[in-house]
Amino acid sequence: MGLSVTNTLTGEREAFEPASDDEVLLYVCGLTVSDDAHLGHARLWFHADVLHRWLDHLGYDVRHVENVTDVNEKIAARVGEREGWDSEADVARHFTEQVIDDMRGLNLKRAEVYPRVSEHVPEIVGLIERLIESGHAYEANGSVYFDVTSFDDYGHLSNQRPEELEADADADELAEKRHPADFALWKADGVSEAAVREHRKHEHDGALPSGETWESPWGEGRPGWHIECSAMSTSHLGDTLDVHMGGRDLVFPHHENEIAQSEAATGHRFARYWLHNGLLETTEDKMSSSLGNFFTVSDALDEFGVNVLRTFYLGAQYRGDQVFSEDAMAEAEERWERLERAYEAAVDACDSVDARAKATDERFRAAVDDARETATEAMNDDLNVREAFGALLELGSAVNRHVEAVDGDADGHAAYDYRGLRRAVETFEAFGGDVFGLELGREAGGDVALAGDLAGLVLDVREEERSAGNYERADRLRDDLEALGLAVEDGDDGPEVRFD
């Protein structure tokens, strides 16, 4: 069975058939960098990452593009909030840097490119000009709007019709539109004072910021939100994408408008498959910056670590909603530790002198094959990560049974099945590591290794103090290490330090 996915455009489960036999064009609707990224954003990143990894596993060359929206009224509203935030570009740069750090901390595969709106204004203007020339857009007082009545399939993605839509604009903008559902491709002048007041998080001294503006054939202004993604995706991946992925809350109006303006401009289908991620909820509400009920990615990484956090996301399929809670994170920690222990047991047994070429445990080998088959079928079944991860936990139980049977042999004649264990280790690494992005068996990274070296130096100083009879000073050094999360244990062979 090959990969199948749920296509929002059709509402159906469909066999995945990209245009090319060996390449997939993947566009992920990225973040507006107006605040710190939270775990709801990271959930989309994670599932896009797993999709990328699974397509790699299936043998495709994945061309993954993920935009950064660094031009937005929410960004402009924060100008002057902190020292050094003197422009919209300054604010965007600060949060873009944090997003990059968060992505690396989450062990995400790098996209081919992360295009930013600010560097694609010429492409945006060019796309708008094509829409005006083809009769799909019109200029009004320096702004440009897309005419939704000119595109017959408008509303197909969200199952809505233009006549059913309620107007969502101020009175001045509505007066410029031919139809209330028309949307802005280019906005004259800068960000309005009303928009700044709506999104600001502090009181501004003096004049309100108006954001960056650019020259255009219609006068000075700024690009509309929706046109940005169409310009960036087609610039880097061409007119037709294989997969467009984003949050379910963007189906309308953002993704609906992307389809209309892109297909109207190019005459080609914009995306073959639309995959939409479910929401991350706290109790009753979705996690969002506007509601203030969010847990930042950086804080979550500090508290839980990347492996527990990724295991949490593995607890639900991408298109369903997921609840973030203490109980859910405790479950994720327990599931990660089970997998890690099983992997380490398999590695230790496989590399043991008691692992033999002629030892055969057919039941164990069958369990390994079953785990691979189940995980593969689950991933091909609309990326069912929870079931696939469960298959690895079942494999862990099989490893434990095999190891315990050998260790419990009173006669000492039993031996570990090397070939079976090797296959088990490869399965853990292929799915747990390569597909799920978990850090199985990874050696301590640079920061951790450096911390260990420094702790060793402090222990040496502590021993010198003890030898000199300065026990109070030695105890303070031990307490200082423990305050940093390093437990000191004094044994017969000298002191040892371990990371709590």
- Which residues carry a binding-site annotation for ATP? 289
Quote the CA–CA distance of 47 and 392 in Å, as a whole number: 18
For residues 335 and 311, the answer to whether their CB atoms sit within 8 Å is yes
Report yes or no: 242 and 51 within 8 Å, Cβ to Cβ: no
What are residue 496's DSSP bridge partners? 489
Token duo for residue 323: 């609840």
Alpha-carbon distance of 62 to 73, in angstroms, equals: 33
d(CA 44, CA 70): 19
Q: What distance in Å separates the CA atoms of residue 377 and residue 373, rounded to the nearest whole number?
A: 6
Q: Which residues are annotated as a binding site?
A: 29, 229, 254, 258, 289
Per the annotation, binding residues for Zn(2+) are: 29, 229, 254, 258
- Yes or no: say if 275 and 318 are a contact pair by the CB < 8 Å rule: yes
The Cα 459–Cα 472 span in angstroms is 14
**Maximum Cα–Cα distance across the chain:** 91
Which has the closest alpha carbon to 31: 204, 225, 171?
A: 225
Other Cβ atoms within 10 Å of 437 Cβ, number: 21
Comparing C-alpha atoms, which of 139, 114, 104 is closest to residue 125?
Answer: 139
> How many CB atoms within 10 Å of residue 381?
16
Question: Which structure tokens are listed for 378?
Answer: 């689950």
Reply yes or no: is the peptide bond before residue 253 cis, omega within 30 of 0.
Answer: yes
Q: Cβ distance 143 to 221 under 8 Å?
A: yes
Q: Closest Cα to residue 24, out of 232, 231, 243? A: 243
Q: Helices (H), strands (E): how many in the chain?
A: 16, 16
| Cα(287)–Cα(269) distance, integer angstroms | 33
Tokens of 247: 């949050």
Closest CA to 143 of 195, 73, 219, 253: 219
Three-state DSSP state, 323:
strand
Structure token digits, residue 306: 């990347």
